[in-house]
């Protein structure tokens, strides 16, 4: 099964506002770089489809069925199937809007489609198959040794977003710096890592709305993932992984009864 990114590049850029009909420079660039002048009609309504291979799977029935059932209404005729990119954007927005301590969002999030990287990550994730089988792998990486620089960056964003003077929130910035700098580096790293779980929870809730399944994963060796992704050099640490994908109709686990503590054991009323 092949995954391809495809884009149709028109020769004309028609601007509805000005009624202007201009030539798309990208079209000309492609024509000249591929030396297509003599081969194709470069006038009129010409266009070029740029089609780039992005992935290839063999003997991967789960993935094949996932595409067929979720993106092709069950029609399996080796026809091209398009992935809903807007669903991914919705999930990114849910992560972006996550709450965090002081609002500092002390993490970066990697969304991985690259098959080569995923194959490298799989052994570091206890060999779990969803690393290579899922639609996307998301790595939540907490910022290590979080400090003044990140707090200043948050304050700048706050002042700009709300249209206020930085000076007016200096007290808040100093308070955060005082509290966070008082923590040992280890405690700070634990604290930033904890924040990634909130982002994960938001991702899971948004995904459930879209009928997308998420497997949260702590089953990996952070040091190995850091090494493979070069996270240490970026001042980051792999805190959590989540794999996402549309639910397969035949996935039996979806029908399993949830195993949860009874409320009487879980809650304590005082
Ligand atoms: C933080 C966290 C880490 C998890 N790590 C893994 C993992 O590495 N691999 C896996 O298959 N499931 C993992 N899970 C999924 C749990 O095993 C699963 O949510 C739990 O068994 C309950 O299943 P349910 O939510 O489907 O009822 C993890 C869940 C959480 C919340």
pLDDT, tens digit (0-9, with 9 covering 90-100), for 50-102 = 888 777 776 567 777 777 777 776 777 765 554 478 888 999 999 999 999 99
Q: Which CATH class is domain 57-264?
A: alpha beta
Residue 184 Cα to ligand 1 middle (Å) = 30
Query: Mean of the pLDDT values across residues 153-161?
Result: 97
Residue 37 CA to residue 31 CA, distance in Å, equals 6
Mutate to test the pocket of ligand 1, among 218, 224, 245, 254 (most ligand atoms within 8 A of CB): 218
Q: Whose CA is nearest to atom 9 of ligand 1?
A: 217
Alpha helix positions (H), 18-78? 25-33, 61-71
pLDDT, tens digit (0-9, with 9 covering 90-100), for 7-34 = 778 777 655 556 566 778 888 888 888 8
State which ligand 1 atom lies nearest to the alpha carbon of 259.
Answer: 27
**Minimal CA–CA distance to 48: which of 84, 10, 86?**
10
> Which DSSP helix (H) or strand (E) runs through 144?
none
Residue 95 CA to residue 105 CA, distance in Å, equals 10
Longest Cα–Cα distance in the chain: 83
Residue 261 CA to residue 264 CA, distance in Å, equals 8
Residue 53 CA to residue 4 CA, distance in Å, equals 4
Residue 192 Cα to ligand 1 middle (Å) = 21
Assign 241 a pLDDT band (cuts: 50, 70, 90).
very high
Q: Give domain limits for the chain.
A: 2-55, 57-264
CA distance to 14, 186, 187, 203, 220, per residue, from 182 (Å):
59, 11, 10, 31, 30
Supply the Cα-derived Rg of the chain in whole angstroms: 24
Q: Which residues of 106-127 are buried (b: 16+ CB within 10 A; e: fewer)?
A: bbebbebeeeebbebbbebbee
């Amino acid at each position: 099964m092949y995954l391809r990114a495809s884009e149709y590049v028109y020769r004309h850029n028609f601007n509805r506002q000005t009624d202007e009909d201009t030539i798309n420079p990208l079209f000309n660039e492609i024509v000249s770089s591929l030396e297509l002048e003599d081969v194709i009609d470069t006038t009129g309504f010409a266009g070029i489809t740029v089609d780039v291979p992005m992935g290839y799977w063999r003997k991967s029935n789960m993935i094949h069925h996932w595409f067929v059932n979720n993106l092709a209404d069950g029609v399996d005729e080796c026809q091209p199937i398009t992935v809903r990119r807007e669903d991914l954007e919705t999930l990114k927005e849910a992560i972006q809007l996550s709450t965090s301590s002081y609002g500092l969002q002390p993490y970066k999030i990697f969304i991985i489609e690259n098959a080569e990287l995923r194959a490298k990550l799989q052994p570091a994730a206890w060999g779990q198959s969803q690393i290579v089988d899922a639609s996307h792998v998301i790595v939540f990486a907490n910022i290590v040794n979080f400090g003044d620089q990140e707090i200043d960056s948050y304050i700048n964003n706050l002042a700009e977003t709300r249209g206020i003077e930085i000076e007016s929130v200096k007290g808040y910035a100093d308070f955060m710096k005082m509290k966070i700098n008082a923590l040992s580096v280890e405690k700070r790293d634990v604290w930033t890592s904890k924040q990634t779980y909130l982002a994960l929870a938001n991702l899971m809730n948004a995904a459930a709305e879209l009928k997308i399944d998420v497997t949260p994963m702590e089953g990996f060796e952070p040091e190995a993932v850091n090494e493979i992704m070069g996270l240490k050099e970026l001042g980051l640490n792999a805190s959590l992984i989540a794999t996402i994908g549309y639910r397969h109709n035949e996935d039996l686990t979806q029908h399993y009864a949830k195993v949860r503590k009874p409320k009487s054991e879980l809650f304590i009323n005082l």
